[in-house]
Structure 1
Amino acid sequence: MDDLFSPKLLEVVGIDRLLHANVKDKISEAVRNNIRVRPLCSSDHESYLQLLCELTDVGSVGYQEYIATFNQMMRCPDTYYILVLENTSSNRIIAAATLVIERKFIHSCAKRGHIEDLVVCSEYRGNNFGKFLVEALVAIGKHRGCYKISLDCKDDKVRFYERIGFVRLNNMMYLRLDTPP
């Protein structure tokens, strides 16, 4: 079982303190004691993809495709940070989010972070797990030297991200390459 990135990074940025600060008044101590924060692992295929289905269409991703993608991400050190919350009593991933760090030539070869694929299992929503994951990824981005972190979200999620400190910028454009015009 391989971790996508070193779990030691989570200690360095104070993940346990962040988790406690975000969820202490939202969930019971018994539930909180069963929540583990960790990097995505090579063995998370089924649980992780099942959770992602609550966010978007995942498609058909077999174990071999999952491992191939996981290994490609591992070969890009200091780039992919997929953080998961696992309920240790059920060995199930209940929340996850991704930070992708892009290297740039602007700003003296700076790094820019992008938060992607934030999802919390429906039965665990409303417990600040999403807020925690965003704050944890921001802490990782700061530690890794990002000059800014951005994300895309649906209109109904704007207030959530504004409360965490993100600022809305208009005119985001995209071109879908997987569907005909």
Structure 2
Amino acid sequence: MQDTSSVAGEESFRVRKLEISDKAKGFIDLLQQLSVCDSVSDKEFEDRFQELRSYGDDHLICVIEDDGSGKIVATGSVLIEKKFLRNCGKVGHIEDVVVDGSARGKQLGKKIIEFLTDHARAMGCYKVILDCSEDNRGFYEKCGFKKKEIQMAKYFT
């Protein structure tokens, strides 16, 4: 799956799967805009990349690369959970969606969500879910998501 499009006739963005070379294109820096993400060595990145690759299509990380600058400006991931419920159904869990502060307002978040949602549908998921802050609720509602239940978390120190 790949999408190349122009925005305002100037910028070109490409949605694609994460590649090993994306660390050098600012992938980790982008994640730091979302949450705590300490520096990751090239070896650690490669090891984790290979581990995630071994899961096949059950864990997909996508990125949007600005073709003009070569910089990664958006990312998100979807994990496919295999269940016994719903006749051994599958659920997609969208995680770690972030758009670079300098690239917001260009519909890139929407492109990421569509890419991940399409992947979950293609994998046979009966639904896709995500957690978000109240501040981001409106964005996800525009992407077709509805508020359901509540989120709970327990962190380990």
- What TM-score results when the alignment is normalised by the length of structure 1? 0.81
- How far apart, CA to CA, are the structure 2 residues paired with 1:126 and 1:81? 24
What are the Cα deviations for residues 54-82 of structure 1, in whole angstroms up to 9, with x where unaligned? 11110131111111111111111121111
- Between the two structures, name the one with larger relative contact order (CA 8 Å, sep ≥ 6): 1
- Of 7, 15, 21, the residue aligned with 1:37 is 15
Residue 28 (structure 1) aligns with: 8
Residue 100 (structure 1) aligns with: 79
- How far apart, CA to CA, are the structure 1 residues paired with 2:150 and 2:61? 27
- RMSD, aligned α-carbons: 1.5
Runs of 4+, deviation exceeding 2 Å? none
More strand as a share of residues: 2
- How far apart, CA to CA, are the structure 2 residues paired with 1:42 and 1:168? 35
Work out whether residues 31 and 37 of structure 2, in 8 Å CA contact, stay in contact via their aligned partners in 1: yes
- How far apart, CA to CA, are the structure 2 residues paired with 1:60 and 1:48? 11
Equivalent pairs, count: 156
- How far apart, CA to CA, are the structure 1 residues paired with 2:110 and 2:67? 20
Matched, 1:56 2:35: yes
1:171 CA drift (Å)? 2.7
Instruction: Report 1:10-21 matches (<5 A).
Output: 10=1, 15-16=2-3
1:89 CA drift (Å)? 2.1
More helix as a share of residues: 1
Residue 6 (structure 1) aligns with: none
1:129 CA drift (Å)? 0.6
Residue 7 (structure 1) aligns with: none
Unaligned runs of 5+ in 1: 1-9
Identity %: 35
- Of 90, 93, 96, the residue aligned with 1:117 is 96
